[in-house]
Amino acid sequence: MTVSESIQPEVPADADGSPANAVAAVPVQHSPALAAHFPPIADLAFLSDGEVAALVAPTGNVEWLCLPSFDSPSVFGTLLDRGAGRFRVGPSGMTVPAGQRYVLASMVVETTWMTSSGLLMVRDALTLGQWRSDARLPGQRRPPGDTQASHVLLRTIKCVHGAVEVIVDCEPMFDYGRVAARWSYEGSGYHAATARAADGSLSLGLTTSLRLGIEGGRATARARLRESERAFVALTWDGGVAPETIDDAFAAIDATSGRWRQWVGRGRFPDHRWRASLHRSALTLKALTYSPTGAVAAAPTTSLPRVPGGDRNWDLRYSFVRESAWALRALYALGFRWEADDFLSFLVETTAGNRRLQNFVRVNGDDSPEEVVLPHLRGYGGARPVRVGNAAVRYAQHDVPGALMDAAVVPAMARRQLPSAVWGMVRREVEEVVQHWRKPDRGIWALRGEPRHYTTSKVMCWVAVDRGAWLAELRGRPELAKTWWSVADEIRAEVLDHGVAPDGTFREHYDSDGLDASLLVIALVGFLPPDDSRVRRTVLAIERDLAAGGLVLRRRPRAVEPVVGESVTVCSWWLVAALATIGEVERARSRAERLLGYASPLGLYAEHIDPASGRQLGNFPHALTHLALIDALLRVIHAESSQLPEQRARPL
């Protein structure tokens, strides 16, 4: 869950001022018949080249691809409307594969179909190549690495056994399905064609070893492949160059797979049974990183519903400061310091000069667009409206600077140095917190309604000032550090005075004794010692009172609301981390194992999981969930290694 919750009304409290505690939910009304035409969110494969992302269904159809960047308009959008552009490669007459997997430690997806006549294998990748640009590229602000996005969606095809009839069906629809493509052949044969938007804003090249036909807005091909025969299809844009031969295509897939493995091999992963899950989450965060700027997108999708058929559908294709700052910590913990440094540089740029810190920005650093509704799209499973842009950028969220300072302190303290540009950002943002921490805000969930004094927001204000003081001392400003620590003490005193309920647990906000899963963050940021009774009571109360089907609810819904709408996946991982932090290692391990079982077949997580069915919902894959997974698993692994065998069973 991200700040995208902001345009929903705040859940009212019961008459006694505490949140409604009825967990029984009213069934959500939606059309199963319509939903059946859409692939389950968890079945989607995620591809990335660090500039764009694609989601591929088990049918072999590219359900989602925005060009030329994560937050651009879609060219394939069947994920939000079955008529908004498609690109399928697969066997004729069959859509259910025998299996699908990522090629080992990579972002290359392999799908296999077993037909009545043979076995077909398709590998899909947004390919990576060697850095090829001598001239400077517009928008490239981070130091160029050894690899670069090729601007090619490559699909290789091989008949492994028998014989299989293969079809290619490419029907792009530009501008979120509003503009049909105009196709024309290229060259003298039938192996290449170009699709152009009517306004000339974008063109796509389609190159294949098969023979193409053009039918209106579609380019199609069909062939019968026999055992060991191969083929390829390549979609190109923005200067991308398609392979010339089948051998070149297969070599490009192998090279891309190898480059992803080379990257993940740079990390420091514990020798543990959860290593593969850490690999996949790290790869997912890297894949959500926009390489020209270092920004981390919260998700590659918009408007996938948190409730089936519901209207709480948001656009998360932007770089949310809170989520991205925590991603910096997660990548740094795994040894990926270059990526962490790149994102910190991006954050410095977004606050340069007189530009104020925003809740989120576009991945290229520009201000996010105004939120608009696309009424021509029917939405995933009929869930409308479909939104692009996000109105949450306007809301005051006092926790955001705290997350930023918490991230900035990690590389600075590790290296015992703080660049001047980073120090300038730190000083501006901490002074801003010092001036405004007493004011109410919208909270970590950015709820609509009257601003309140949310306890988690106050704690994150403490984090901002506390971490700022450490950085001021590192910078050689002891008097400023002393001043800021004094403010941090004042914030903590107020929280302990007004933010603790009579039962000794932290409360959602100063006017309610209710629980909110974001209070788990208190155990993770060092606000109080982990053995403090208020911290322990809060963590254990959330485990007891907000649990549903092995998951954790953001807060308890009212009787008129579906439970699934409050089942935010990141909250469940926060609980794992908090339990490990307070010494409840066995409980943390047990919950972690159960949560790992909720992963998609390819190891990915969406924003929400339905506690009743285990169905994944919301935007996918979700960066905040994957970084919380990394943090939680590392905490449990560290706690396990720190305990002596005789200590493990001893109650605290």
Q: Has residue 483 got a pLDDT over 60?
A: yes
Q: With a cut of 90, say whether residue 179 has pLDDT above it.
A: yes
Residue range 558-566: mean pLDDT, rounded: 76
The full length of the chain comes to: 652
DSSP 199-265: TSS-EEEEEESS--EEETTEEEEEEEEETT-EEEEEEE-TT----SSHHHHHHHHHHHHHHHHHHHT
pLDDT at 102 exceeding the cut of 70: yes
Q: How far, CA to CA in Å, does 442 sit from each of 351, 399, 447? A: 21, 10, 5
DSSP run (H or E) holding 622? none
Is the pLDDT higher at 413 or at 434? Answer: 434
Angle (CA) 362-367-370 rounded to 5° is: 95
pLDDT in tens, 577-626: 999 999 999 999 999 999 999 999 999 999 999 999 999 999 999 999 99
Please write the tens of the pLDDT for every residue from 184-208: 999 999 999 999 998 777 999 999 9
Question: Do the beta carbons of residue 373 and residue 387 sit within 8 Å?
Answer: yes
Q: Among 89-98, 104-113, 331-340, 557-566, where is mean pLDDT lowest?
A: 557-566
Band of pLDDT at residue 35, cut at 50, 70 and 90: low
For residue 182, the cross-strand partners are 196
Least confident of 20-34, 392-406, 607-621: 20-34
For residue 180, the cross-strand partners are 173
Which range in 119-128, 137-146, 348-357, 547-556 is most confidently predicted, on average pLDDT?
A: 119-128
Q: Helices 399-415 and 455-474, interaxial angle, to 10°?
A: 30
CA distance readout (Å), 576 to 27, 57, 62, 558: 29, 31, 35, 25
Give pLDDT, residue 539: 98
Helix (H, G, I), strand (E, B) or coil at 313: coil
Asked if 412 and 422 count as a contact pair (C-beta separation under 8 A), the reply is yes
Contact by Cβ (8 Å): 181, 217? yes
First and final C-alpha spacing in the chain: 32
User: Are the C-beta atoms of 4 and 316 separated by less than 8 Å?
Assistant: yes
Strands 118-130 and 109-114: antiparallel
CA distance 303 to 80: 8
Query: What domains can you pick out in the chain, each with its CATH number?
Result: 3-28+266-643 (1.50.10.10), 39-264 (2.70.98)
| CA-wise closest residue to 280 among 616, 610, 551, 45 | 45
Q: Give phi and psi for 211, each to the nearest 5.
A: -100, 125
Among 336-350, 381-395, 505-519, 608-622, the minimum mean pLDDT is found in 336-350
| Helix or strand holding residue 401 (H, E) | helix 399-415
| Contact between 71 and 297 (Cβ < 8 Å) | yes
641/636 Cα distance (integer angstroms): 9
Looking at this protein, which amino acid is placed at residue 37?
H
pLDDT-wise least confident of 104-113, 159-168, 306-315, 319-328: 319-328
Looking at 3-17, 107-121, 222-236, which range is the least confident one?
3-17
Kind of pairing, strands 118-130 and 218-226?
unpaired
Q: In this predicted structure, which of 5-9, 432-436, 491-495, 590-594 has the lowest mean pLDDT?
A: 5-9
**Residue holding tokens 């997806």?**
109
Of the listed ranges 2-16, 498-512, 578-592, the least confidently predicted one is 2-16
- Across the chain, what does the average pLDDT equal? 89
Please name every residue paired with 109 in a beta bridge, in sequence order, or none if there are none.
102, 124
User: Average pLDDT, stretch 30-37?
Assistant: 60
Radius of gyration of the chain (CA): 25
Q: Which residues, including other chains, have CB under 8 Å from residue 7's CB and lie 6 or more apart?
A: 371, 391, 392, 448
- Residue 322 pLDDT level (bands cut at 50, 70, 90): confident
Residue 80 pLDDT: 98
Residue 174, C-beta contacts closer than 8 angstroms, at least 6 positions apart: 73, 75, 85, 180, 181, 197, 198, 201, 202
Tens of pLDDT along 111-138?
999 999 999 999 999 999 987 666 666 6
CA distance 461 to 453: 12
Strand partners, 101: 110
Q: Which residue has the higher pLDDT, 445 or 614?
A: 614
Confidence of residue 19 (pLDDT cuts 50, 70, 90): very low
pLDDT of residue 646: 40
Stronger pLDDT, 376 or 652, i.e. the higher one = 376
User: What confidence score (pLDDT) does residue 1 get?
Assistant: 42
**Greater confidence, 328 or 272?**
272
Q: What is the Cα–Cα distance from 559 to 70, expressed in whole angstroms? A: 38
pLDDT at 448: 61
Nearest CA-CA partner of 126 in 90, 151, 101, 157: 151
Residue 15: pLDDT band by 50, 70, 90 thresholds?
Answer: very low
CA 297/CA 289 separation, integer angstroms: 6
> Above 60 in pLDDT, residue 279?
yes
* 3-class secondary-structure state, position 566: helix
pTM for the model:
0.91
More confident residue, 99 or 339: 99
Is 80 exceeded by the pLDDT of residue 555?
yes
571: exposed, middle or buried (C-beta count within 10 Å: 0-12, 13-18, 19+)?
buried
In 3-state terms, what secondary structure has residue 177?
helix
- pLDDT over 90, % of the chain: 72
The band of 166, judged by pLDDT with boundaries at 50, 70 and 90, is very high
Q: Looking at residue 8, what is its pLDDT? A: 34
Spatial distance between the Cα atoms of 144 and 650, rounded to a whole number of angstroms: 52
Q: Which of residues 177 and 15 earns the better pLDDT score?
A: 177
Which pLDDT belongs to residue 579? 98
* pLDDT at residue 244, as a whole number: 96
Phi/psi at 394 (5° precision): -85, -15
**Residue 534 gets which letter from DSSP?**
H
pLDDT in tens, 46-89: 999 999 999 999 999 999 999 999 999 999 999 999 999 999 99
- Do 285 and 627 touch, CB atoms closer than 8 A? yes
Task: Give residues with Cβ within 8 angstroms of 342, minimum separation 6.
Answer: 142, 289, 293, 294
Percent residues over pLDDT 70 in the chain? 90
In this prediction, residue 32 has a pLDDT band, given cuts at 50, 70 and 90, of: low
pLDDT at 230: 98
Residue 582 burial (10 A CB sphere; 0-12, 13-18, 19+): buried
Residue 45 · residue 55 · CB < 8 Å: yes
CA dist., res. 234 & res. 46, Å (int): 17
| Nearest residue to 574 via CA among 526, 528, 517, 529 | 517
- pLDDT for the residue 85: 97
